[in-house]
Structure 1
């Protein structure tokens, strides 16, 4: 990746971190779900393969190359990681092709040093076995890697896609059976669409409610 390209990616990552700190994930009810469109072709395959390395899932169809299929059940890809990465509230979509190209370049270098013959019909990272993908990704998070910040933000978004359905309204995600929330057994809302959690997590109330607390639960 050129220095100009790397600077653009780092700017987008910095803006993404700032956006994530301002947002409440999973999304509030007033936020529209992210569109399913995004960068096509090899970029999507590479991003899916990266996410599947972090949170594996089963293959979606015979011949699915991006997902290694090392486990049963849903993973980050089924949970909507591509929609999360392409969320209109994040500035990552324009730089995803460069990030994918960087990851594929790392895969080519890894394959060369490990005498691995990569297929020419799929992205380089996708062409690696799950074992080699894992070994490569492990190295990307090392303190000496110059692009570690890129992989850290991508891993954060991968986790958000699976654990919180970050690209969807929470009620929509739960009621439509989002695979990550279902796997985590995220509770259904009450009939009016709100969560109240009548049972205290410690089995008892830890403090009495202040008499000036408003009906919405806010301090007066």
Structure 2
């Protein structure tokens, strides 16, 4: 967090982390972690930076995140009431749901017939993007930090000069010659 930015709301943070963990689950970060359910043994969307991406200025969602978290918790409370589930009042309602219930609720929210589908489908898409492409970081920086999604995908590190080169052609042959006006950095002239 940089100077001048407000302190993140812990309810919003935990709720959106639980949402991201529902999309791409991860391992608990510490023993008492409630937002990350810990249903897998590898890092998931939360460790991949899903919240950083959702709050990134380029997305334009930062102002809406409090409202999204509130709406998600409202849906979680309604879900729990309809199923006569007792939620722990010490954590946000969505966080208090068991992982299978979180999953069922997210499936409902992203169903084509749900009136808020576009909101939740978009949020799920950005959580997935944080994991599989790390658009909120430079690729080289993400790889240096051991980004979990890029590591799982086997994304290779750049050469020493920071450029990616692929000496082995995927089609077992070169498909085209390099354009004569291509610069030394690989950009078109």
User: Shift of residue 112 of structure 1?
Assistant: 0.7
Tell me which residue corresponds to 2:163: 194
CA distance in 2, matches of 1:78, 1:199: 32
CA distance in 2, matches of 1:158, 1:48: 10
CA distance in 2, matches of 1:56, 1:40: 22
TM-score calculated relative to the size of structure 1: 0.78
2:36 corresponds to 1:63: no
**3-state secondary structure, aligned to 2:96:** coil
- Give the gaps of 5 or more residues in structure 2: none
User: Shift of residue 193 of structure 1?
Assistant: 0.4
Q: How many residues align?
A: 184
Q: Which has the higher contact order (CA 8 A, sep 6+)?
A: 1
CA distance in 2, matches of 1:218, 1:62: 48
Matches within 5 A, 1:59-208: 59-206=28-175, 208=176
Tell me which residue corresponds to 1:49: 18
TM-score calculated relative to the size of structure 2: 0.91
Task: Summarize deviations over 1:30-73 as a string: whole Å, max 9, x none.
Answer: xxxx97x7732110111010110010000000110000000001
Checking the alignment, whether the CA contact within 8 Å between 2:182 and 2:188 is kept in structure 1 is: no
- Give the gaps of 5 or more residues in structure 1: 1-33
CA distance in 2, matches of 1:52, 1:218: 38
